[in-house]
Chains A and B, each alone.
With several copies, the nearest count.
Chain A
Amino acid sequence: MANPKKILNDPKKVVAEMIDGLVLANDGRVRKLPDHAAIVRTDLPDSKVALLIGGGSGHEPLFHGFVGRNMGDGAACGQVFAAPAPDIIYEAAKAVHRGKGILFLYGNYAGDNMNFDIAAEMLEDDGIDVRTVRVTDDVAAAPPERTHDRRGIAGDIYMIKIVGGAASELDTLDEVERVARKAVANVRSIGVAVAAGSIPETGKLTFELADDEIEIGMGAHGEAGVARQKMKSADAVADELLQKLLSDLPFKAGDEVALLINNLGATTMMEMLIVNRRIRQILEREGIKVHRSDVGTWLTVQEMAGFSVTLMRLDDELKHYLDMPAESLGYSRM
């Protein structure tokens, strides 16, 4: 297996250098906390419910590239594929807090859960109201009766978009939390991997796949999926992913959904658009209406090749927040 080939300086410093570059790429819209790997909006209104996002680095532009107007107010950044430490989360939370409480929104992983929980306890000691909503969209990770055991993958993108909008418009933490819980209850994703990514500091690919193999349900750090298979056609892959997604919520005729196809890193947009074509044929056949589509590169796993498909069932309220304009390095909409 060939060595991952990357243009880097010191592999031990990738996160620090990446964050510096990210702040500069934001043209003044965000800043880094002086002593912590956290990103905070510079244009935070004086009073709002705060939305803090975050997680391990290496998934750029998620999470720290999703800080901005109607998106996250701040992000706590861990090392590559490692949840941020409690002190980073704590300081980021203090920096975004505007007196109306803070929603923690992040993917459901043991590391993130524990580190964010420790920070939440520290903040509660300070008298700050913190609520936590964990994204659990990966249907490959656990059966439907154990959604609390599911990983957060590309559903993060719609979650941040919706909760970012809600946290701009709604006045109380209760209300923002309510919208976030509704959104997470209605979002489902599943991925497929074609080739592995690597962690810069180890220089090692996180898994191995034969030249003719794919893995359905691969997680966002190379965690095992549900099935390793021989390479098959785009239509066959789309059919399998959609079958697993649709039967899960389940999505049914008459539902309105948002559809997101996320590049895990090195897959071509051509492939994703070809897959999109098939997905739309299936949804049409099932009587499911697509309110909105997003096809692009948001939650990456370094140079992993593959993609995931996310469906979120919408009502008028979720549509409203999903369709709000938003601005951030990694995701902007008019």
Chain B
Amino acid sequence: MADTLDLKASTDMLRTVSRSVIDQTDVLTDADLAIGDGDHGIGMRRGFEGALESLDATPPDSIENALKAVGTAILSKTGGAAGAIFGTLFRAGSKPLAGRDRLDGEGFAAFLETGLEAVLKRGGVTEGQKTMIDAIAPAARAARTSSGEGLPATVAAAAAASLEGVEATKNMIATTGKARSLGERSLGHPDPGAISVSLILKAMQDFTAKA
């Protein structure tokens, strides 16, 4: 269990994350069928398939660019709300990693924080509106708190917080996106985008735990 990841390991982690989200296509689609339009799974699959292709075609020369490549692929392949949001998360989140050749707990927390900030700005929603923000915001806070304890612990804390965030979205009434018009009918269902966040962080947790 390494405390930090170098470029190669970081890139491998992103590959693992991609495959893991792709594997969960149906879970995400079904979640979106319940309160959205039923395309979240196939959208995320398109995005992360694009990420895998991009990482293979042009092996990134820095951790920053590895994250950015994933974001760019998502932004151009996923489409819909998720494409803009998750694309922005990775693209904006890559910036604090500029010039760093290892991913550590602090860098990971900065990735989530900066990504979150950009996502908040892009989407114009805040916590509590039943979106992926309700998974990513607690994850970013947890990562910051544990950022001194090494990358695996930081990621594990973020993943755990995001899962709680997913649970919390079940009790929220959607006030944005396609689920908005459901009103109270959205209660009891988790937000699909929040589930995606938790899947991404869980895959990162599993990877860093073994790396």
A interface list, Cβ under 8 A from B: 56, 78-88, 109-111, 114-115, 117-118, 140-142, 149, 151, 199, 201-202, 204, 206-207, 217, 219, 221-226
B122 located at the interface, meaning its Cβ lies under 8 Å from any Cβ of chain A in the complex: yes
Give 1 or 0 for each of B161-182: 1 = CB within 8 Å of chain A CB.
0000000000000001111111
Which residues B78-96 have CB closer than 8 A to chain A? 78-85, 88
Not counting A56-B80, A115-B80, A223-B36, a sample of 18 additional A-B residue pairs whose C-beta atoms are within 8 angstroms of each other reads: A83-B79, A83-B83, A86-B76, A87-B75, A88-B76, A109-B81, A109-B178, A110-B178, A111-B81, A115-B83, A117-B122, A141-B180, A199-B38, A201-B42, A219-B181, A221-B178, A224-B181, A225-B181
Give 1 or 0 for each of B117-142: 1 = CB within 8 Å of chain A CB.
00000110000000000000000000
A111 touches B123 (CB 8 A): no
User: Which A residues are CB-close (under 8 A) to B82?
Assistant: 111
- For the complex, what is the distance from the CA of A207 to the CA of B179, rounded to whole Å? 13
B4 located at the interface, meaning its Cβ lies under 8 Å from any Cβ of chain A in the complex: no
Selected from A79, A86, A151, A222, the residue in CB contact (under 8 A) with B43 is A79
A85 touches B37 (CB 8 A): no
Selected from A80, A85, A221, the residue in CB contact (under 8 A) with B75 is A85
B79 touches A115 (CB 8 A): yes
User: Which A residues are CB-close (under 8 A) to B83?
Assistant: 82-83, 85, 111, 115
Residue in A117, A118, A207 with the greatest tally of chain B CB atoms within 10 Å:
A118
A206 touches B43 (CB 8 A): no
Interface residue total, chain B, C-beta cutoff 8 A: 33
10 pairs, CB–CB < 8 Å, chain A vs chain B: A111-B83, A114-B81, A141-B181, A151-B181, A199-B38, A201-B42, A204-B33, A206-B37, A219-B178, A223-B180
User: Which B residues are CB-close (under 8 A) to A223?
Assistant: 36-37, 178-182
Selected from B33, B75, B181, B185, the residue in CB contact (under 8 A) with A86 is B75
B76 touches A85 (CB 8 A): yes
Q: A79-B79, A225-B181 are in contact. Are A199 and B123 (CB under 8 A)?
A: no
User: Which A residues are CB-close (under 8 A) to B11?
Assistant: none
- For the complex, what is the distance from the CA of A111 to the CA of B81, rounded to whole Å? 4
Residue in A109, A111, A204 with the greatest tally of chain B CB atoms within 10 Å:
A111
- For the complex, what is the distance from the CA of A201 to the CA of B43, rounded to whole Å? 10
- For the complex, what is the distance from the CA of A84 to the CA of B46, rounded to whole Å? 13
B38 touches A83 (CB 8 A): no
User: Which B residues are CB-close (under 8 A) to A56?
Assistant: 79-80
Give 1 or 0 for each of B10-35: 1 = CB within 8 Å of chain A CB.
00000000000000000001000100
- For the complex, what is the distance from the CA of A86 to the CA of B77, rounded to whole Å? 10
- For the complex, what is the distance from the CA of A204 to the CA of B180, rounded to whole Å? 21
- For the complex, what is the distance from the CA of A225 to the CA of B176, rounded to whole Å? 15
Selected from A82, A151, A225, A226, the residue in CB contact (under 8 A) with B78 is A82
